[in-house]
């Protein structure tokens, strides 16, 4: 776990970089297009550190391990969900956690599977409640 804390001057400098979406004292959020570019360049064989240097990041400020750890996470998302996974801006770490935002971003097949599971759950819940009502009446 990284214990790095950015000073106000460092935050201002980082926010000037076109690839930074947001920056706080504890974290940097990168733009979607930078994530995609970084993954493509990495898959072509360019080292993570070199990608970040080329894109104007000051390595001593962000830390030597940051480029590698970011690319490790982005590659996992890319392998699981493709480029679209890197474009999603969700809640929680890497948009993988947090509350589900509904069915808007899903394919038709995913929507059907989700709704079928919900129907099955509700049917089972109704059966259970009916048994409880029966027992309470006896």
- Tens digits of residue pLDDT in 24-63: 999 999 999 999 999 999 999 999 999 999 999 999 999 9
Domain count, the chain: 2
Mean pLDDT of 108-134: 91
Query: Does one domain contain both 136 and 115?
Result: yes
Q: Is the pTM of this model over 0.85?
A: no
Q: Residue 91: pLDDT band by 50, 70, 90 thresholds?
A: very low
Judge if 86 and 120 occupy the same domain. Answer: no
Q: Supply the pLDDT for residue 66.
A: 93
23: left (phi over 0), alpha (psi -120 to 50) or beta: beta
Is 73 found in the same domain as 115?
no
Query: Which of 3-7, 63-67, 93-97, 109-113 is predicted least confidently?
Result: 93-97
* Residues 32 and 82 both lie in one domain: yes
Specify the pLDDT at position 107: 83
Average pLDDT taken over every residue of the chain: 87
Radius of gyration of the chain (CA): 22
pLDDT of residue 103: 64
53/80 same-domain check: yes
Whether 24 and 81 share a structural domain = yes
Q: Are 87 and 127 in a shared domain?
A: no
- Which helix (DSSP H) or strand (DSSP E) does residue 30 occupy? strand 28-30
Please provide the distance, in angstroms rounded to a whole number, between the alpha carbons at the two ends of the chain. Answer: 58
- Between 77 and 104, residue with greater pLDDT: 77
Residues 34, 10 share a domain: yes
Domain range for 35 is 1-101
Q: Is pLDDT of 98 > 60?
A: no
């Amino acid at each position: 776990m990284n214990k790095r804390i950015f000073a106000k001057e460092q935050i201002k400098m980082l926010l000037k970089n076109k690839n930074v979406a947001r920056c706080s004292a504890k974290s940097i959020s990168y733009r979607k297009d930078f994530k995609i570019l970084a993954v493509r360049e990495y898959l072509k064989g360019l080292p993570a550190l070199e990608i970040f240097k080329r894109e104007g990041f000051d390595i001593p400020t962000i830390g030597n391990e940051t480029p590698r750890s970011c690319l490790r996470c982005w590659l996992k998302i890319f392998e699981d969900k493709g480029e679209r996974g890197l474009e999603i801006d969700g809640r929680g770490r890497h948009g993988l956690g947090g509350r589900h935002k509904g069915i808007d971003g899903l394919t038709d097949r995913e929507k059907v599977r989700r709704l079928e599971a919900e129907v099955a759950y509700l049917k089972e819940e109704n059966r259970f409640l009916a048994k409880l009502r029966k027992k309470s009446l006896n």
